[in-house]
Amino acid sequence: MKQRLMWIAWPAFLTAGVLETVVFALVDPQALHGFDGEPIELSRSAVYTLTFFVFWAATMLSSALTTLLAASPFEINRCPLPVDGRPDGCPKPAPNRR
């Protein structure tokens, strides 16, 4: 589980950093306006921070969806409980084949 979380979080972190750099190389945070046309009353650092976390969340969602879609049907449908503690609806493990 921890390994999959790192598969999702680390590439998303790097991508968010790249997106942040590209966007703010072209856009001045002090020139941003809200939907009502008023200037955003946040410091540059606050805009950079909030934007980074928005980019990170969006890219984590994308990475999580990719990880979910890459999982095999066995991984999705397996029962995590030990054989002697499974309820009736939990599938039995496949026999070992050599």
Read off the DSSP letter of residue 72.
-
Strands (E), the chain: none
pLDDT for the residue numbered 90: 74
Q: What is the pTM of this model?
A: 0.70
Give the residue carrying structure tokens 């020139």. 31
Task: Give the tens place of pLDDT for each residue, 10-54.
Answer: 999 999 999 999 999 999 998 888 899 898 889 999 999 999 999
Query: The dihedral of CA 30, 34, 37, 42: what is its sign?
Result: negative
C-alpha torsion angle, residues 70, 71, 73, 79 (rounded to 10): -170
Alpha-carbon gap, residue 77 to 17, rounded angstroms: 35
